[in-house]
Amino acid sequence: MVARFTRAAALAGLTLLFSGQAAARPPTAEDLLALLELGDYRGGLSISPDGQTLAVFARETRVRENDYRYRLLVMPSAGGSPREIADAGDIILRDTPYGPTGAAADRAPVWSPDGRYLAYIAERDGRAELWRVSPDGAAAQLLVDGPGEVLRFVWLDETNLVVETAAPRDALSAASSHAATYGFHPDDFFTPYASLTPRATIDHARVQLVVNAATRAERAASPDESAQLNVQPRRPAPLNAIANDRTSDAVAWIAPRIAGDQASTPALGLYYAADEGRDVMTCDDPACSGRMLGAWIFADRIVFRRMEGHGGGLTALYAWDWRANTVRRIRREDEELFACGRAAARLICLQEGPLQPRRIVSIDVDTGDLAQLYDPNPDWRAFDQPRIETIEVNDAYGNDSFAHLVFPANYRPGRRYPVVVVQYRSRGFLRGGVGGEYPILPLAGRGYFVLSVDRPEWRGAEASLPQAELDQRTALDNSENLMKQSALEAMLAELDRRGLSNPRRIGITGLSDGAETLYWAITNSELFAAAVASTQPTDTTAWTLGSRAFRQSLLSEGMRGPYAVGDDPWAAWWARNTTALHAERIRAPLLMNLAESEAIMGFPLATRLEELNRPVDAYVYPGAYHIKWRPAQLLAAQTRAMDWLDFWLRGIEREEPEDPGRLDRWRALRDRTGRR
């Protein structure tokens, strides 16, 4: 089944007046990188205890300098101009036990309990430091500048903070230098495919300190004080979201249904208690279930956020009157809301829409009306805003999925256009898929339909199976691959049926899960005339060159390596999913934009395709991780991807001054393989 509808925000053929009367132009990849970004991945908007002031980081991407600049802004919650009160330095990368991902670490400013100060982490001179500053920008004070890296912190009271630090970078670098001289014994986290030198970023002996902000005096944190880094005050457990009323002891939370509820009720429920000693009230309305992602107390109402619609693609806000036990919906839009909080009688959030970069908004909890408080990118309105539709499908297993269909610039009805598929999430601002390497609006500006796909999920099975068991079962029976393939094919068939797409000019792109879908699709389908992957394919080398800890984590979940024997189902899984073993079935010209930390696993396929005389080209980005984080590298990957798609799907040839041999190499691939 396929459905579609046009968003009210679609503004095809927009003409603006600026610098005289002229048609607006589509944004470029450079324009996207020039956007000022607010907050972090999870949100990052902080509201003062009295609800009067907002604080948020603004991030500027500086391509020429190949770095970022973080600035701390404050503004009145009722609206007004923001003020910069501190420079927070450069990006800090998120780390994991298996290495950096390339994603920025979450770091939000945090108000002291009395609202007099903001504490925040700044990246300066090669280390992460803890600072505090007053909302007027005065009295900026360095609280912790070493010797270790500041990882996280929490206020204990108006003066004291618990701070967690890790080893300083120079000490870790010294350890690497020692290993370079004397050799080293691989530990559980040594990952050969990423690097043959030991990782020097994880420090397992972390230190928790209590710091007096007035004197900078430090002491070791007690176990109870250290535990404050992991808990929220007055937190019922288990829960997914919590809201405290500043003016009373009331608390509301989202959690698994409490004992005594009917077995047929959804897994999550919404609860309220006037104080910790009172009886707990349960919302009985069906809306108080499913994918609820936040709750806020407004006197006798609890406002909560819920993902709903086909594939959970819409954000809805509801108000639960806990006295009458009634629920009404107050807002439902194709948007993402982040870091929402209460300020007087309104909800303040960071908000994005398909064509709207992140901004700060205020939402009336009576009417659901939205008012803009601060847009860091007002010039964005000067660009052409393409027409957007939503395509809704069900995969072969009945799971819901959707995609945003972005129309090409200067679209003319009755004409068929090439299509580019971008994956694997399509929520909020349509920047460039997961990883940001495939700029959606610039591609539309070049004359493509862009299908921004939000992959289907096992909604029904998720409710009845643990995640590890679900992952294993859908991998072994191949339904994970077939689920995504069938959803994608249904979307593309709809474009063909409507006479929108040129079925011989379809490209596919992807990173991470999107790359998994890409490799499966070009191996098992003839739909695609070009492909660009940002991640390596599945290969047996992933098992042998991964860390021991990573292998052990997979073994604990029931997965086994490629050397399983006999009728072990994992032997069949590796044989089916190792793309290099099926390279002869790949016809689509393939560009591989590989991060250095993952590149080695991409060469078995690249080599095999070369042996088969298939069109393949590869680039490696030194210092890059799963996500390319350096601005210059990201722009280079975006530009190469778009030029590759233009070359194979539209016959457009572009010289690249920074890569003088590229066009001749691509022409040779085309001539040798006889493709036109």
Domain match, 334 and 426 both: no
Rounded Cα distance, 62 and 51, in Å: 33
Confidence band for 247, pLDDT divided at 50, 70 and 90: low
Does one domain contain both 155 and 235? yes
Beta strands in 77-217 (DSSP E): 83-89, 110-111, 118-124, 127-133, 141-144, 149-155, 160-166, 207-212
How high is the mean pLDDT of the chain?
A: 89
Under 8 Å between Cβ of 275 and 216:
no
Residue 189 lies in a domain: no
Task: Based on the fold, state whether residues 146 and 239 are members of the same structural domain.
Answer: yes
285 and 273 part of one domain: yes
Q: Which residues pair with 15 in a beta bridge?
A: 23
Look at 197-201, 324-328, 400-404 and tell me which has the smallest mean pLDDT.
197-201
**How high is the pLDDT of residue 1?**
46
What backbone phi and psi angles, to 5 degrees, belong to 600?
-60, -30
The domain boundary residue, chosen from 360, 379, 398: 379
Q: What is the DSSP letter of 644?
A: H
398 and 349 in one domain?
no
Task: Please say whether the dihedral angle defined by the alpha carbons of residues 605, 610, 616 and 619, taken in this order, is positive or negative.
Answer: positive
Verify that 342 and 404 share a domain, yes or no: no
Residue 510 domain-assigned?
yes
Q: What tokens does 364 get?
A: 């009336």
Which pLDDT belongs to residue 469? 86
Asked whether residue 269 is assigned to any structural domain, the reply reads yes
568 part of a folded domain: no
pLDDT at res. 462: 64
Q: Are 402 and 311 members of one domain?
A: no
Q: Are residues 334 and 397 in the same domain?
A: no
Both tokens of 620, joined, read 């490696």
**What tokens does 88 get?**
């927070």
Of the two residues 3 and 588, the one the predictor is more confident about is 588
Q: From the CB of residue 623, how many other CB atoms can be counted at a distance below 10 Å?
A: 12
Please list, in sequence order, all residues whose beta carbon lies within 8 angstroms of the beta carbon of residue 585, skipping any fewer than 6 positions away: 523, 524
The length of the chain in residues reads 676
Side-chain-side CA neighbours of residue 413 (13 Å)? 3
Percent of the chain with pLDDT over 70: 90
Q: What is the pLDDT of residue 12?
A: 32
- pLDDT above 80 (res 198): no
Mean pLDDT of 436-462: 93
> Per the domain annotation, does 422 fall within a domain?
yes
Neighbours of 534 (CB within 10 A): 30
Sheet holding 149-155, edge to edge: 149-155, 160-166, 207-212, 218-220
Q: Are residues 115 and 249 in the same domain?
A: yes
3-state class (DSSP) for residue 60: strand
pLDDT tens digits along 566-608: 788 999 999 999 999 999 999 999 999 999 999 999 999 999 9
Domain count of the chain?
2
Alpha helices in 279-417 (DSSP H): none
Q: Which of 102-111, 159-168, 562-571 has the lowest mean pLDDT?
A: 562-571
pLDDT digits (tens, 9 = 90+) for 489-529: 999 999 999 999 999 999 999 999 999 999 999 999 999 99
Q: Are 93 and 103 in contact (CB under 8 A)?
A: yes
294 and 310 housed in the same domain = yes
Give buried/exposed letters for 127-165 (b at 16+ CB in 10 A, else e).
Answer: bbbbbbbbbeeeebeebbbeebbbbbbbbeeeebbbbbb
Residue 292 has pLDDT above 70, yes or no: yes
Expressed as residue numbers, the domain containing 283 is 46-181+200-379
How far is it, in rounded angstroms, from Cα 175 to Cα 183?
A: 11
How sure is the predictor about 674, in pLDDT bands with cuts at 50, 70 and 90? confident
The answer to whether residues 408 and 284 belong to one domain is no
Same domain, 375 and 417: no
Task: Name which of 647, 586, 591 is nearest 612 in CA terms.
Answer: 586
What tokens were used for 453? 């796909």
Please say if the pLDDT value at position 434 is more than 90: yes
Beta strands in 486-545 (DSSP E): 501-510, 530-533
Most distant pair of Cα atoms in the chain: their distance: 78
- The set of residues, in sequence order, having a beta carbon less than 8 Å from that of 517 and lying 6+ positions away, is 423, 424, 455, 481, 484, 485, 488, 508, 510
Q: Is residue 463 part of a domain?
A: yes
Q: Is the residue at 601 inside a domain?
A: yes
CATH number (domain holding residue 627): 3.40.50.1820
**Other beta carbons within 10 Å of 360:** 24
d(CA 441, CA 603): 31
In a domain, 665, yes or no: yes
The better pLDDT of the pair 184, 591 is held by: 591
Where does the pLDDT of residue 100 fall: very low under 50, low under 70, confident under 90, or very high at 90 and above? confident
Comparing 150-154, 461-465, 600-604, which segment has the lowest mean pLDDT? 461-465
Q: Does 261 score more than 90 pLDDT? A: no
Other beta carbons within 10 angstroms of residue 328's beta carbon come to 12
**Which of these three, 349, 379, 409, is where a domain ends?**
379
- If one compares 68 and 463, the residue with the highest pLDDT of the two is 68
CATH classification of the domain holding 345: 2.120.10
| DSSP conformation letters of 394-450 | E-TTS-EEEEEEEPPTT--TT--EEEEEE-S---SS-SSSTTS-S-HHHHHHTT-EE
